[in-house]
Structure 1
Amino acid sequence: MNTKLWRALRAAGVLTVCAVGAPALAGPDDDTLRVAMAEEILNLDYNYTTKREYIILAQLTDATLFDLDPETQEFKPSIATGYDWVDDATLDVTLRDDVTFHDGTPLTAADVAYSYNWIGSAESESNATGVVDRWLDTAEVTSPTSVRFHLKSVYPLVLRDMANRIMIRKKGTYGAGAEIDRDAMASDLIGTGPYKVSSFEPGTELVLERYDGFFGTAPAIETIVVRNIPDVGTQQAELMSGGIDWMFKVPLDLAQSLGATPMATHLSGPDLRVGFLVLDANGYTDPEGALTDVRVRQAINHALNTPEMAKYLIGGSAEAIHTACHPAQFGCDQSVTAYDYDPEKAKALLDEAGFADGFPLELWAYRDKPVAEAVASDLTAVGIDVNLRYVKLESLNQARAAREIPAYFGTWGSGGTADTAAIARIHFDAESDRNMSGDADLAELVLSAEQTADQEKRKAIYSEALGHIADQAYWAPLFSYSANYLVSPELDFPLDPDGLPRLQNSSWK
């Protein structure tokens, strides 16, 4: 359907399918992009939030010191113009002199140093504190446009953290002493990004307007309205009737069916989230359990038809994986051992391990029930007696922490960070309950990749670690995820390889 016909039909009400009370028709006529998010938006300060929705919003309202190019994984200037390593634990960062906050106040080095020192402090209680505390000792103003960062030790992901996580606030924003206000930016956000907050009703609607004083490239669309619409069916109706232009996290069947009509365009792109089974190789739940035998774990890998799971249960750009990381992540070596789908090989390995008649396996899962059921079915087909326990995430987390789970289906999105460190650190650290391998040498190896700034050395370390994980079959990797969107036929919404939606890059056709 061409654009003119689309607008005419929508204006005439022909495309309205139900009365859902949209405040206005979305689209280019008023240069307003209306998007739907199921999660409640309650706090606009990404320094105090974590969810994907807040990452999307932060890219609209805030700017970081550096940008990470999703295509090349190279760092580009943003608020910072450049950097220089004085030594392995001292980093000098130079700043632009034309950055302003949304209230017109010029940004200075004092604001940058304050933001990092505040977030790195225990009293901030920021959601980003854990990220900064790993490496930051202090941030020191060295001139009106330069800041020196003193690191606690060598840490190769400093620039990545600066590009992804820490939003700059004016000096003194959160107060001090008895006057600390951690919610200072929760509603009345003053950022440095391409859009400024026009109005905000927590849990209902956020209106953003293009900030004319933005130092970077101005976005094409004047206004973005973010509406909280928890029900996907209501989102669908709004899209069809012209109440919204964009929705994400769309179930595959809905995305395909509605995308096949002239009312919406289905876009499917990569996502850094991967799915996997974690197996109790150490025997936390049973020191003599079947999973302590590497042949059993290898059999489980061979038993799983991951290509079909990726194609039919996830769809879009999802692909089967054989590594404990996403193939797009730095250091995710694809040359490690892969276990092809081979049920007969799986049965032979079980027989060799002394389990020709199978064994009982309690498999836990908390999401993507069809996937969990497919995994259980594949394992049952090779003789394993699976008891699928589908629970809420909180219950799974508690049971895992108590070492009561022999195997579970999990997923990890790495916070949108295209580096193996973002998945290896949390899953194979010796102190993490997600690490069910009990392999102290592996944990030390994984940690060593974060103790050098030499990228080639890091790559070699991850290659060795991932090869060992594959050979020992500590995991049964399943697939990468696909991000499914439904958008107005009038909207040009480019997709990036890291799967992070960047609404600021949208434009009208």
Structure 2
Amino acid sequence: MENQEDGDYGEFGDYGQAFLNQQDAGSGPYYVDVYEPGTKTVFRKFDDYWGGWEPGQVTEATFLIVSELATQKLMLQKGEVDFIEQWHSVESFEELKQADGVVVQEDPNVQLFFLSMHNGNPPLDNEDVRKAISYAFDYDTAVDIIFAGAAQARGSVPLLLPGHNPDATQYTYDLEKAKEHLAASGIDPAEYPLNYVYVSGLESEEKIGLLLQSNLKELGFELEMQPEPWARM
């Protein structure tokens, strides 16, 4: 959607970005009391919240912006924060399980990890190439080692959500099928170097990329790792 009038609307041309950075836009139980870009955001209880309040509910919450995962983990271990985000490696969580006063809670969730292919440009505009890549990926290593304790998704709708299809197509690692689809595509992988863009600092995304890089070498594709800050994703 284009802006109604040309103007300086922020780095990404977002018409309402500057306004919404400083204003509330909702009907929830908290309001933004302090907003320091790149540092922290403080939420406080909105007394007139339509849903009402019960004794003992949280009245203030401070979210700190800490980009380094190692620093997040150290702050949790030292008791400087109450919880940290989920984007840590399996190894980090295993280490945190041993820390005094830290609880690593594991629950079923609806989060999916997937890779998006740009099918508007060659060679990914070729269906056989996309299928070749899908069959060349080592799902067992991803599930059992990189995301230890996870399970391979079946379809784009998670198991816990309405609309999940248990009969949806599920790819498996099959290098022979991958080579068959690549041959059917007529594409020479040596002519098409690929790049994998991931969020800088997220170990799991980097490890998935390195695994994919290794897998695609079996088909003759070169894959460049391209870390980017979250804001550019």
Which of 304, 315, 329 aligns to 2:137? It is 304
Cα separation, 1, equivalents of 2:45 and 2:217: 55
Q: Which of 163, 172, 177 does residue 340 from structure 1 map onto? A: 172
Cα pair distance change 1:211/1:374, threshold 3 Å: same
Q: 1:227 to 1:333 in 2, by over 3 A?
A: same
1:326 aligns to what?
Answer: 157
Shift of 1:248: 0.3
Residues in 1 aligned to 2:178 and 2:96: alpha-carbon distance in whole angstroms: 40
CA 1:216–1:122 in structure 2 vs 1: closer, same or farther (change >3 Å)? farther
| Equivalent residue, structure 2, for 1:387 | 222
Q: 1:254 aligns with which of 92, 95, 98?
A: 92
Please say if 1:275 is aligned against 2:108.
Answer: no
> 2:47 pairs with 188, 200, 212, which one?
212
Q: Which residue of 2 aligns with 1:74?
A: none
Superposed CA RMSD in Å reads: 3.7
Cα distance change on mapping 1:197 and 1:346 into 2, 3 Å: closer
Q: Using the TM superposition, give the Cα deviation of residue 344 of structure 1 relative to its aligned residue in structure 2, in angstroms.
A: 3.5
Aligned residue number for residue 264 of structure 1: 102
- The match for 1:126 among 7, 16, 26 is 16
Quote the offset at 1:263 in angstroms: 3.1
Match of 1:313 in 2: 146
Conservation of the 8 A alpha-carbon contact between 2:157 and 2:163:
no
Displacement after TM superposition at 1:192 (Å): 3.9
**1: CA distance between counterparts of 2:133 and 2:24?**
50
Q: Is the 8 A contact 1:307 1:319 kept in 2?
A: no
Specify the SS of the correspondent of 2:38.
Answer: coil
Note the C-alpha offset of 1:343. Answer: 2.5
> Helix, strand or coil for the counterpart of 1:389?
strand
Q: Give the superposition deviation at 1:300.
A: 3.1
Judged with a 3 Å threshold, the aligned counterparts in structure 2 of structure 1 residues 279 and 322 are, in CA distance, closer, same or farther, namely farther
Q: Percent identity?
A: 20
Give a deviation string over 1:183-212, Cα, whole Å, max 9, x none: 3x6446586421234444443333333233
Greater Rg by CA:
1
TM-score normalised to structure 1 length: 0.35
Q: Give the aligned partner of residue 408 of structure 1.
A: none
- For 2:60 and 2:206, the matched residues in 1 are separated by 38
Q: Which amino acid aligns with 1:125?
A: Y
What's the offset of the Cα at 1:240?
1.7
Q: Relative CO higher for 1 or 2, CA cutoff 8 Å, sep ≥ 6?
A: 1
**8 A contact 1:190–1:196 mirrored in 2:** no
Looking at structure 2, the residues matched to 190 and 299 of structure 1 have their Cα atoms a distance apart, in angstroms, of: 45
1:59-458 matched pairs, under 5 angstroms: 122=4, 125-126=15-16, 183=19, 186-187=21-22, 189=24, 192-218=27-53, 220-252=57-89, 253-269=91-107, 270-276=109-115, 278=117, 280=119, 284-285=121-122, 292=126, 294=128, 296-316=129-149, 318-323=150-155, 325-328=156-159, 331=163, 333-350=165-182, 353=184, 359-360=189-190, 361-367=192-198, 368-381=205-218, 384-393=219-228
- Please tell me the residue identity of whatever aligns with 1:263: G
2:146 and 2:208 in contact (8 A); partners too: yes
Distance 1:260 1:271 in 2: 26
Contact 2:77 2:99 in 1 (8 A): no
Provide structure 2 residue ranges, at least 5 long, that are not aligned to the other structure.
Answer: 6-13, 199-204
